[in-house]
Chain A
């Protein structure tokens, strides 16, 4: 992985030599990632490569086996309970399904972090909540319950909740998965404008190639526990790696074979390999 073409400013998140295993399976096998301040960084890879796990490692919900995770100058795995919760007040995370609190309506969901962490009076909280809801275009939906929202709306409410405390960074877990084209477009625009307008640092985990490449400033591609390629969307498109090309273009066969490893087809059908396979 080349270090030369990266910006030189101190990154907000710095991951070095990260190793993480779940049971027998090694999810990350020594990855290095830098998330630059004020930029939108996309982390892409096939399903099951532990992209969500990476966000949980950054947020301190999981501890790495070895390696370092620095967020804003603090080493996340070494923080104690109180320091970790202080750090999380400056982070937002958007979960795949929004993860709204189902017993609260939209307004109270967005107000939740404000009520938990500030001593603002209700009038001020009301103003702040309406501003955040206006930013995601759902001021009119404030009285709905989460069960009455569509998937895209739920994600936008969750986004309003994530920016309620004006964090320095937001992590998006698969923000586009399962969206219709319109709400996908809305979310793509929102992610970009929020990053620019609020000066947020955004980290997005996704396998939606076109949407991610269209808005990201910098992209990491992860596969089998390693960073296989990183760069701006343009350098990625020009990549010579056949694996990256297969992933970006969504080809069914290539370095990642269509077939799960198996014995020879003809022999298998004739039943000759029952005893002799392997």
Chain B
């Protein structure tokens, strides 16, 4: 009994300590952001590996999620004779929820794990240590550009996800199921609000990008420098990153749409 209590306490302390380290780490990395402006090429290079290389999986997933939404939505709406609202349904689901959330989950799996593994291996091979001894702060030189690239890439990826989702929904609805072309688009245009729907979705994707990238670079930097440690850190990134996306999505949705 006492043992269990002790273990609980130790675990809680461990979690609190790690959270503290994570926040100090974040402050230090953010301190390196101003120095990135004159050398923005470094960020662009990282946006290529974080963002551009994630495009395929994001684009394909977006297209298929949109197509499934079109099919499922049609089956429900056809009972009410409201199939011309299909465009609204597809667009709202994507822009408000599925775009940021599914893109965030894929981002954690594709880009987050890669970031953790890369930084973790740089630590394990003493590259970060060597930089420190060359008077180059690895948090500013290695972590900061990757972090900023993640924050900038994620909203773009979510937007591409949503856009291709709408296209997928259009193919199924108009091409396959014979929904009226004009109604599909005009209803969507009338009902999807720029501020209420699109901006809130963008805010979500920025938050998810920030948190997932933060978790990814911190797990990489804080990894135990062995092959086992790197593998555990990579797993942690995907698991914690995905849970953070889902949890934060609920909180943000409650704040934005819960009247």
**Which A residues lie at the B interface, using CB under 8 A?**
59, 61, 85-86, 88-89, 91-93, 95-97, 99-102, 112-113, 116-117, 158, 161, 165
Contact = CB atoms under 8 A, between A and B. Distances in A.
Contacts of B126: 95-97, 99
Nearest to B137: A85
Interface in B115-130: 122, 125-127, 129-130
Given A97-B126, A99-B126, A99-B129, 20 more contacts: A59-B132, A85-B135, A86-B135, A88-B133, A92-B134, A93-B130, A95-B129, A95-B130, A99-B127, A100-B127, A100-B130, A101-B130, A112-B136, A113-B135, A113-B136, A116-B134, A116-B135, A116-B136, A117-B136, A161-B134
B127 A61 contact: no
Contact of A116 (B125, B130, B133, B141): B141
A114 to B, nearest CB: 10
Interface residues of B, number: 14
A59 B133 contact: yes
Nearest to A84: B135
A93 B125 contact: no
Contacts of A88: 132-135
A113 B135 CA distance: 8
A86 B122 CA distance: 23
A178 B129 CA distance: 21
Question: Looking at chain B's contact residues, is the secondary structure mostly helix, strand, loop, or mixed?
Answer: helix
A102 B123 CA distance: 12
Interface in B96-130: 122, 125-127, 129-130
A61 B134 contact: no
**Max chain B CB contacts within 10 Å: which of A99, A101, A165?**
A99
Sorted nearest first, the 10 A-B pairs with minimum C-beta distance are A99-B130, A88-B135, A99-B126, A93-B133, A89-B135, A85-B135, A113-B134, A95-B126, A116-B136, A99-B127
Nearest to B118: A103
A100 B122 CA distance: 10
Contact of B127 (A59, A86, A96, A102): A102
Contacts of B129: 61, 95, 99
B135 A117 contact: yes
B17 to A, nearest CB: 15
Contacts of A116: 134-136, 141
A101 B119 CA distance: 12
B125 A99 contact: yes
Contacts of B135: 85-86, 88-89, 113, 116-117
Contacts of B141: 116
A18 to B, nearest CB: 19
Contacts of A59: 132-133
